Amino acid sequence: MDAFNHRFDPTSLREYDIRGIVGKTLHGTDAFAIGRVFGTIVARAGGGRVAVGRDGRLSSPELETHLVAGLVASGMEVVRVGCGPTPMLYFASYDQKADGAVMLTGSHNPPDYNGFKMMIGKKPFFGKDIQELGRMAAEGDVVPEATGSSREVDVSATYIARMVQDYGGGAKTLNVVWDPGNGSGGAITERLVRELPGTHHVINAEIDGRFPNHHPDPTVLKNLAQIIAKVKETKADLGIAFDGDADRIGVVDGEGNMLFGDQLLVVLARDVLKAHPGATIIADVKASQVLFDEIAAAGGTPLMWRTGHSLIKQKMAETGCPLAGEMSGHIFFADKWYGFDDALYSAVRLLDILARSDQSLAQMRAGLPQVLNTPELRFNCEDTRKFEVVREVAARLDAEGADVSAVDGVRVNTPDGWWLLRASNTQAVLVARAEASSAEGLERLKAQLAAQIEASGLAAPDFSGENAGH
């Protein structure tokens, strides 16, 4: 056993990844330690090959160097796929028959953040796995130092060709605007559109870790201002935006209206269910009741599950589900694809659906039942208190005989609609949301939610923001 040991900043060991502020809570020594310990975990599981990718952040090349050095010191054969979207790294883990994979990305966080997303085998590495990695680093619990190897492999052409393979090519020719948001999906997007029929306009394609045009989170309306303007200017059929590492998608219809993650999932689910009648379709607990009703109406079996891309992937594997999605824009195709969240592939499947349909995306959106809902409300609550608050609320609701789903926090059904309160797995916050069929009903739901929060000694969140039509 060599004399390695390392302590991470405790704030960096998150539920789904290791993430921090570069130079403050995340350093090159952390990257080396992640490689050294993750390589040990792969080695002890009988593996020897790890795929590594990175996003376009300014800190990513240096952190990748340290990460690879740690993996090599654990005896790993490291396959470096370079700068690109996170789903390309996931794809590479299949294509290169890797035993593990590490993506160096800060996703949609501010430019000074960076982080590490991991897979062990073909499964997500999260939760207790990450805490165990921290323990092993602190205790120096690693395999004896060895000399592995590192080589660069370009999987981009194979990745693009595999995505295009699932574009069936309907009769309709589409006009599409794309916005990778200066994230790591930019170069791949430009190459992908050259392989697709139709007219394509790509904005903000240059990979720039400073994100000079807008923050790369396509689920926030203000970040879609540019793509909405371009859709209207070019009279496009739709616009497609990605987050900083292209594992989350945002969509705008031809009239410039944003589709929420659950609305997009309705469009995708209807198509998938034609090939898989009766199949389970998974969505997270924040999704509209409209989605679950529409899945059932299309002959599917809706399943409400916990928020979190790793948790969703795990549940998909358990249930054999062909499609899942989250409000945050993570879309997971196991139908024809590999079951991981891939915004680029989801975009290809969406375009395939639209090319075969006699309806526009705007018409599909307008045809959905209209409800009113609050945006996702996040308000501060200490990590030591947030789960306890949810348990207190659940106990009071149980005593009242309320209709509650406790899959992830509490989701309360009433004649007006539903409201949700859950603890974030990644931040010291509580998350709330409410949805009703009328403005009056929504006010009643918000009052019930506020009363429960205040009964646990917290100030209710500010509901004064505009309610979203949905």
Q: Which residues are catalytic?
A: 107
Region at 265 (left for phi over 0; alpha for psi -120 to 50; beta for the rest) = alpha
Q: Residue 42 has what DSSP assignment?
A: H
23 alpha-carbon distance from chain centroid: 26
400 alpha-carbon distance from chain centroid: 35
Tokens of 325: 């999605």
Rounded to 5°, the CA angle 318-98-168 comes to 65
Distances 14 to 324, 388, 427 between C-alpha atoms, Å: 23, 19, 9
Query: Exposed/middle/buried for 7, CB within 10 Å: 0-12, 13-18, 19+?
Result: exposed
Query: Exposed/middle/buried for 104, CB within 10 Å: 0-12, 13-18, 19+?
Result: buried
Half-sphere exposure of 159 (CA within 13 A, CB side): 26
**H or E segment at 458?**
none
CA distance 287 to 284: 6
Residue 82 sits at φ, ψ, to 5 deg, of 80, -160
Q: Which residues pair with 238 in a beta bridge?
A: 176, 253
The one-letter amino acid code at 223 reads N
- Coil, helix or strand at residue 52: strand
Region at 401 (left for phi over 0; alpha for psi -120 to 50; beta for the rest) = left
Q: Which residues of 430-454 are buried (b: 16+ CB within 10 A; e: fewer)?
A: bbbbbbbbeeebbbbbbebbbebbe
CA distance 461 to 77: 50
Rounded to the nearest 10 degrees, how much is the dihedral formed by the CA atoms of 331, 334, 338, 344?
A: -30
Q: Residue 242 has what DSSP assignment?
A: E
